[in-house]
Amino acid sequence: MAARALVLGITGQDGSYLTEFLLKKNYEVIGLTRSETSPAALKWRKIADEAGETATLIEVDYEDYRSVMDVIISVNPDEVYNLASQSSVASSFQQPVATLHINGVITLAVLEACRELTKRGQPRLFQASTSEMFGKAQSYPQTEQTPFHPLSPYACSKVYAYHQTINYREAYGLFACNGIMFNHESPRRPERFVTRKITAAAAQIAAGLRDHVTLGNLDVGRDWGFAKDYVDAMWRMLQHHEPDDYVIATNQWHTLEELLERAFRRVGLNWHDFVRQDPALMRPTEVTRLQGDYSKAHNILGWEPLIKFDQLIDMMVDVDVSLVEANCTS
């Protein structure tokens, strides 16, 4: 009998890659979404269909704590992947209460549902945490022992969810794991995120469709990996015999200027000629450097990232160039 996986936030970047990954392993995949007819849901449906397997979407009101609990309990999954999140740092400053609700309160609903399900069996839970929790870190690279110093409402909400996950694991014996995910990107990343904003802009500028891209603070750096690699780490955490928390990263740090250099070079341009800065895009507080050490995940789970930074950016630019060409000929 196939294992049943329930994925909250299934229509996002990570959810789409996780769907493909689990279907290839013959899971029954069920996903929760706000709307089955949203553009993200329709795009996810196409990806699931191309994987050659059947996956199910269920609409749920993420504003309703009890409804989320009831759906999870009714599905009775073997594994739960909580990817549902308001994941934009910039938006979290504008919508702190909504950010806390989806990232904190709904995580609590997931934990309560899993606790209820332990009466029938033992569901295993993956909770998507974030490197933004480290914030103003004083040491590099960051490990599972690095203290948190969050610098945004998004990061604060994720710290809450992280500790609640540990609390339920220790208080109720829940098989619950936190994956402290450093920045992970792909061609499926929405353009509101800076990596895809840059790669899409490079492709469009090279095609003569625009003449610049506007960004905020360029004096930042991140540990950027490939989202498809990171869903493998999520799954590995739930296959291990003991639940634990893991940093998922590449051990490498790159500046935003390096990203710009790589992306624009891929289309034969100098980024300095096309990038403008707007103070309005600056955040009230800025995390300047995040770099993760994935040694624990490698030693215990046998996981490591396969796609390196240069490959990732080249891949994203190439896909965006193909999208521009397809749109121009359609």
- C-alpha distances (whole Å) from 156 to each of 93, 246, 302 are 11, 19, 30
191 given a catalytic annotation: no
Catalytic residue, chosen from 130, 146, 199, 250, is: 130
Handedness of CA 319, 323, 324, 326 (dihedral sign): positive
Q: What share of the chain is helix, strand, coil (3-state, %, to 5)?
A: 50, 15, 35
- C-alpha distances (whole Å) from 36 to each of 20, 61, 70 are 18, 12, 18
Encoded tokens for 203: 């492709």
Encoded tokens for 310: 């240069």
DSSP 98-159: HHHIIIIIHHHHHHHHHHHHTTT---EEEEEEEGGGT-S-SSSSB-TTSPP---SHHHHHHH
Q: Mark 33-57 as b/e (b = at least 16 C-beta within 10 Å).
A: beeeeeebbeebbebbeebebebeb
Catalytic residue, chosen from 17, 154, 168, 230, is: 154
257 given a catalytic annotation: no
162 given a catalytic annotation: no
- C-alpha distances (whole Å) from 232 to each of 86, 152, 228 are 22, 28, 7
Strands (E), 9-116: 28-33, 55-59, 79-82
Encoded tokens for 30: 């069920």
Catalytic residue, chosen from 20, 28, 79, 132, is: 132
Question: Looking at the annotation, which residues are catalytic?
Answer: 130, 132, 154
